[in-house]
Structure 1
Amino acid sequence: MSEESSIEVQEIEQFLLDCVPFDHLEDALLQRAAKAVKIAYHRQGTTPNLFQEENPRLFIVRSGAFEIRDQNNALVDQVDVGGYFGFPSLLTGHKVTNHCVVLEDGLLYQIDETTFQSLRRENRIFDRFFNQAHAKRLRQAVRFKERNSQLTETVADVISRSPITIHTMASVREAAGKMTEERVSSLLVVTEEGLCGVLTDRDLRSRVVAAGLNFDVPVAEVMTTDPITVAHDAMLFEALMIMSTHNIHHLPVIDLDASGKGQIKGILTATDVIKHQRSEPVYLIGEASRVKDRAGLVQIARDIPTLLRNMIARDARAEEVGRVVTTVTDAITRQLIHQAIEQLGEPPVPFVWLAFGSQGRQEQSAKSDQDNGLLLSNKVKPEHDTYFKALASYVCDGLNECGYVYCPGDIMATTDRWRQPLEKWQACFFRWIDQPSPKALMHSSIFFDMRMIYGEEPLFEELQDSVLERCQGNSIFLASLTHNALQLTPPLSFFKKFVLTRDGEHKNTFDMKLRGVMPVTDIARIYALATGCKEVNTLKRLQQISQGKMLALKDARDLCDAYEFISHLRLEHQGRKMAAGEKPDNYLSPEDVSSLSRHQLKDAFDVVSRSQSGLKLKFTRGMM
């Protein structure tokens, strides 16, 4: 090697030392990488033919800036000094369909496939870095991929204009003039402190004109006060569910900050929703809210497997699938309750229909069995049980006809034990918390994931608040929950090999739900109970907990990513089963997924294992 070449290699080595993961290579490997580097210069505005199928390479930006675009010219990535591209094809062996655009004059280092693969084989950190980088790009592709589907449309995507507001002390005459001028059917009524009401054209007709009021009365006297709102990043189908449940046509949209206060973003109207009623979730939810008999709901429920297959085919995120499918279940449940009340008359005392387990967490996929209960006001009398037993029977029988089979453990509102007044529910929860027997711990994985589906919200909040207050600081209960949760571990050996079922019907597979999804669900539940977090959904629990001191933000994000990846692989597996006309299950063979996915799955399981270790340190304190 000439002196000039030697100096050049040293300069390349020095640059690579400042780049992760090259800075983790042993000296000999770093030198091998530097010697393999080829250098090319590219001018701004050009589109060099870099991606050659017969010669895939890793590209490292030494100077300048580059843009990677797909075959539809959509932006995939922007890369500047120290950034990489080209590695996905080296990992997967797939043909490259992207192209490169030079944004600024620059130098590219290029490493050939043979050298790249040898570095992966001989240095685990190097291998993991590029696998994780590819996983991140895949997640971004899933999240930002354009889909002609309302599955991922948020309320913010749909609201047609910025908020039109009026002060609470303005006159009705001014409000009517503003509606005419702005050509809107509603106004958001505000004070200096924020949103306080909504005034619609219907309010003007029914509360002013029909009542013969003076047009100079203040808006505050005729507006709808304390309006129901929706977050700007909520999914459109969730907003439709709110509008349908409460029979409203104007829904204020807010952007909640960390303190829970909201900045007004606009208003969602029934017209906005109708314009976007093109997707199956919205159709099913809307239909479920309109049908008047059980047979109609059964027909809607028959469409859920098709909806699920379509979402999987569209590569929807697992979290989106869970929310969509559960929202349809919620709509069916609410309509069954409405039908029961129409038959039985108004309830004698306030009540709440409770959902537990996966429906409570909004994480349903393929249809599951029922887990529900009835929370009754403490004013309930023995003679009222005839009414509530009939209501429970109508709803549970209807759910069974819709494909949500009766719970084999009888955790349903038809069971006397799970149809009780508030004080008895509290006594039951307090007993599980204070005396965490094996049966109590089994119940905790179901009942502590509870959500109100229908009924009196203050009644539900009283139960939820009392349970969370009882859990916080109860070290014995939290330690017992942790010990119980650690019985389910990810299927990885000490040497990071998959641990598979050795015999039986599911030989050479592992249970993705039992060994992958549930451990994360358990971790999130324990942290939520320890901190008084009211969220029930696994990802929302982790996100909220990460804002405190109990769980570091990075650890929470890693666990969320691991959970989403495991859940997504599980969904893909179930989608393949359904496409083949088979019954979906949770048993995945590593041979059924790509080499890259196996690497990523091991990394995801490793994150879960480390999170379980952290859970053990926090809550057992020598008790195990």
Structure 2
Amino acid sequence: MSNSATELLVSACIQLLQAYAPFDQMEAESLRFLAERVKLAHYPKGALILASEMGVARTLHIVQRGQVRVRRSGGSSSAESASITLGPGSCFSIGALMAQRESSSAYIARDDVFCYELPAEDFFSLTQKSTVFNLFCTQYIAGLLRQSQQQLQLQFAQRAAEQKTMNSPLARVITRDPVSVAPETPVRQVVELMASRHLGSMVVVDSGQQPVGIFTLSDVLKRIVLPGASLDQAIEAVMSPQPRTLPLAANAHDAALAMAMHRVRHVLAVDEGGRLKGVVSERDLFKLQGAGLRQIRHAIDSATSVEVLRHAREDVRQLSLTMLAEGVGGQEITQFISTLNDTVTRRIIELNLDRHDLYGIDWAWLSFGSEGRDEQTFTTDQDNGIVYICTDIMDREQTQLRFLEFARDVNEDLDKCGFPLCKGNIMASNPDLCLTLEEWDERFAQWVRTPDPLALLNATIFFDFRPLYGRFNLAHRMRLSLLRQTQGNPLFLRMLAQNALSVAPPLGRIRDFVTDADPGHPGTIDLKKYGVRLFTDAARLFALANQVEATNTVARLKRSSALMNISSDEVAASVEGFNFIQILRLRHQHFEQEHGRSGDNLVRPDELNEIERRILKEAFRQARKLQARLKLDYQV
């Protein structure tokens, strides 16, 4: 082929690719490098382009024309497993190429397909040459997450709408048949009818049942009592004429807007003929909207009983579900849940302080585990303790007994509010977890000096502590003491790394996932033990080794990475993987609780759609990268 013809093909390739990401942002020299090395391949309709049985992926495919159907290799041909379609500009086999493995999905031509194909050797050269392309590949999981976000939102949007119901038509909002009177009805009779039926308003209708006016309880005072008007006059003389009406098909949002615009508290629902079918009040809409953040916080802060706080906890869950439906990320939702749970705990502590005399003692209530990391989900139990100062003039035993009695009441009230008592007795009412500052320091020091299996287990729970109430400076002193001890003890850090590596990502060489780790639950993956833990263990070790005070996993990863020369792109990929696993846990726990079960972390990969499976695999690969760094840094 002549040089002019070759240049024409290269130019055509560049022009086409520049219409799609990431090629539209790619450096000119790198884009030409790509265009000069790809070959155009044709696949007829139904042809298998790439599959696991073809062995290790050797080529990057870029769809030039046509559509490619994606399904999980070895999976069913159901609509869900074959729900992904790739069009022009789409790349595939990036994950398989970067991992030097076979593709976990099958790619089939839906019609005549033309693909630009780049050999693996040139693919890796391009990742070195082009910063834009390298970023695109390393953030592959983030791209998949954007696709998944839409599916997650669709799954939760309907549930949220059903429970929130502000989109519901007025026909569903109306809870009882309307009560009405004729214009000539005496006021006395109307007031008596309102009192006997417990009505806040009375609609006045004509002979055709069309509303002509409305009379409310506030009108009784303003138009009857204060002016001294006769109760024998007709209601039409004191009613508000031309009431606001909406058709039954209008929704609650329309009613709320009408009330706001016209400064009224009632809207009348009418049928197509204008006949009265129901009354919607401002109070009805308030109930439909459910509790918002401000209402929940106010309810918690002003609560005078555990029963009120228990209802507030239910509101927290409902609001979290709405956040899922709106596409809020896993980190934000778990922190939101943790923050409001903190508020409930603080209010319970305040209520119990009225019954226990702890005046004059410096102390703090500590949270451990997921609450200490600001990472609580829908299913969580109690993990808490107390730190206090015992001066020379105080009786150590009597002081601890006072705290234990107080903690026992707090733990019981937390249980009533939906925070189950910890089966492992990791609670402040346990004398081993109600200690002076010096005792906590000595306990931490002992675990660091002698990192046996029990000490390492304790480290994974108690080193993620955070103060919730009281003297926060005591927890800060505990943190500084702990970091001083871990900084000078490489043996402890190495043993902690070994403990973190004792659980591997559940990825198989032949199958996509390893689901037989727990014989009692075949076909499932525990996303807490084999998912979240992989990230939290690594982040904890990074923080302890680099004197980072944060307890939140994402904050630990980000702050530690800056001190460890880990690229921001690599950290972002790890964070995306961690957050996606958290989203899957939240969704699964919600579905479990919807069906009357307590909610666990056991997810069946076979029940995930194709996009979710791909992202979950990428998330586990990010965890594997973190573990690879632990192996390298600590020679485990």
Of 337, 342, 351, the match for 1:330: 342
Query: 1:134 matched to which residue of 2?
Result: 143
Q: Tell me how far 1:117 sits from its aligned partner.
A: 7.3
**Distance (Å, rounded) in 2 between the aligned partners of 1:583 and 1:26:** 55
Query: 2:206 matched to which residue of 1?
Result: none
Query: Structure 2 matches for 1:352-431, cutoff 5 A?
Result: 352-379=364-391, 380-382=394-396, 383-431=398-446
Residue 422 of structure 2 aligns to a residue whose secondary structure is coil
Query: 1:478 matched to which residue of 2?
Result: 493
Of 522, 525, 530, the match for 1:510: 525
**Distance (Å, rounded) in 2 between the aligned partners of 1:581 and 1:587:** 16
Q: Tell me how far 1:85 sits from its aligned partner.
A: 8.6
Q: Tell me how far 1:385 sits from its aligned partner.
A: 2.4
**Distance (Å, rounded) in 2 between the aligned partners of 1:495 and 1:120:** 26
Q: Tell me how far 1:346 sits from its aligned partner.
A: 4.1
Conserved 8 A contact 2:141-2:577? no
Residues 503 and 496 of structure 1, relative CA distance in 2, 3 Å threshold: closer
**Distance (Å, rounded) in 2 between the aligned partners of 1:349 and 1:117:** 73
TM-score by length of 1: 0.61
**Distance (Å, rounded) in 1 between the aligned partners of 2:517 and 2:460:** 27
Residue 387 of structure 2 aligns to a residue whose secondary structure is strand
Conserved 8 A contact 2:444-2:482? yes
Conserved 8 A contact 2:40-2:115? no
**Distance (Å, rounded) in 1 between the aligned partners of 2:114 and 2:350:** 63
Which moved further from structure 2: 575-584 or 503-512? 575-584
Identity of aligned residues (%): 28
Cα deviation 1:117-169 (Å, max 9, x = unaligned): 79599999899789646326448979999x99xxxxxxxxxxxxxxxxxxxxx
Query: Structure 2 matches for 1:556-595, cutoff 5 A?
Result: 556-595=571-610
Query: 1:315 matched to which residue of 2?
Result: 327
Query: 2:308 matched to which residue of 1?
Result: 296
**Distance (Å, rounded) in 2 between the aligned partners of 1:119 and 1:113:** 18
Of 33, 36, 40, the match for 1:31: 40
Look up the equivalent residue of 1:533 and give its one-letter code. Answer: V
Residues 430 and 113 of structure 1, relative CA distance in 2, 3 Å threshold: farther
Query: Structure 2 matches for 1:198-209, cutoff 5 A?
Result: none
Of 293, 307, 311, the match for 1:281: 293
Q: Unaligned 5+ residue runs, structure 2?
A: 44-64, 70-85, 94-108, 125-132, 158-288
Residue 303 of structure 1 aligns to a residue whose secondary structure is helix
**Distance (Å, rounded) in 2 between the aligned partners of 1:371 and 1:541:** 20
Q: Tell me how far 1:533 sits from its aligned partner.
A: 0.8
Cα deviation 1:416-452 (Å, max 9, x = unaligned): 1111110001000000011111001001111000000
1:534 aligns with 2:532: no
Larger radius of gyration: 2
Query: 1:11 matched to which residue of 2?
Result: 11
Residue 546 of structure 1 aligns to a residue whose secondary structure is helix
Query: 1:340 matched to which residue of 2?
Result: 352
Residue 32 of structure 1 aligns to a residue whose secondary structure is strand
Q: Tell me how far 1:278 sits from its aligned partner.
A: 8.5
Cα deviation 1:202-249 (Å, max 9, x = unaligned): xxxxxxxxxxxxxxxxxxxxxxxxxxxxxxxxxxxxxxxxxxxxxxxx
Question: How many pairs align?
Answer: 432
Residues 617 and 141 of structure 1, relative CA distance in 2, 3 Å threshold: same
**CA RMSD for the aligned pairs?**
4.3
Query: Structure 2 matches for 1:163-202, cutoff 5 A?
Result: none
**Distance (Å, rounded) in 2 between the aligned partners of 1:559 and 1:317:** 14
Look up the equivalent residue of 2:143 and give its one-letter code. Answer: H
Conserved 8 A contact 2:378-2:590? no
**Distance (Å, rounded) in 2 between the aligned partners of 1:516 and 1:116:** 38
Conserved 8 A contact 1:373-1:412? yes
Q: Tell me how far 1:329 sits from its aligned partner.
A: 1.3
**Distance (Å, rounded) in 2 between the aligned partners of 1:501 and 1:302:** 35
Look up the equivalent residue of 2:368 and give its one-letter code. Answer: F
Residue 41 of structure 2 aligns to a residue whose secondary structure is helix
1:487 aligns with 2:495: no
Of 318, 323, 329, the match for 1:306: 318
Query: Structure 2 matches for 1:203-218, cutoff 5 A?
Result: none
**Distance (Å, rounded) in 2 between the aligned partners of 1:89 and 1:29:** 13
Query: Structure 2 matches for 1:111-260, cutoff 5 A?
Result: 115=113, 132=141, 134-135=143-144, 137-138=146-147
Residue 344 of structure 1 aligns to a residue whose secondary structure is coil
Residues 119 and 391 of structure 1, relative CA distance in 2, 3 Å threshold: farther
Q: Tell me how far 1:299 sits from its aligned partner.
A: 2.6
Residues 385 and 575 of structure 1, relative CA distance in 2, 3 Å threshold: closer
Q: Tell me how far 1:614 sits from its aligned partner.
A: 0.5
Cα deviation 1:533-565 (Å, max 9, x = unaligned): 111111111121222235433322221111112
**Distance (Å, rounded) in 1 between the aligned partners of 2:110 and 2:617:** 27
Q: Tell me how far 1:17 sits from its aligned partner.
A: 9.6
Residues 85 and 389 of structure 1, relative CA distance in 2, 3 Å threshold: same
Conserved 8 A contact 1:357-1:449? yes
Which moved further from structure 2: 598-607 or 547-556? 547-556
Q: Tell me how far 1:303 sits from its aligned partner.
A: 3.4
**Distance (Å, rounded) in 1 between the aligned partners of 2:518 and 2:8:** 58
Look up the equivalent residue of 1:353 and give its one-letter code. Answer: W
Residue 490 of structure 1 aligns to a residue whose secondary structure is coil
Residue 494 of structure 2 aligns to a residue whose secondary structure is helix
TM-score by length of 2: 0.60
Residue 404 of structure 1 aligns to a residue whose secondary structure is coil
Conserved 8 A contact 2:331-2:579? yes
**Distance (Å, rounded) in 2 between the aligned partners of 1:585 and 1:116:** 46
Conserved 8 A contact 1:496-1:602? no
Q: Tell me how far 1:407 sits from its aligned partner.
A: 1.1
Residue 573 of structure 1 aligns to a residue whose secondary structure is helix
Residues 339 and 580 of structure 1, relative CA distance in 2, 3 Å threshold: closer
Conserved 8 A contact 2:34-2:118? no
Residue 352 of structure 1 aligns to a residue whose secondary structure is strand
Query: Structure 2 matches for 1:14-93, cutoff 5 A?
Result: 19=23, 30-32=39-41
Q: Unaligned 5+ residue runs, structure 1?
A: 35-53, 59-83, 92-110, 149-276
Conserved 8 A contact 2:483-2:547? yes
Conserved 8 A contact 1:340-1:395? yes
Look up the equivalent residue of 2:312 and give its one-letter code. Answer: I
Look up the equivalent residue of 2:478 and give its one-letter code. Answer: L
Residues 26 and 497 of structure 1, relative CA distance in 2, 3 Å threshold: farther
Conserved 8 A contact 2:13-2:35? no
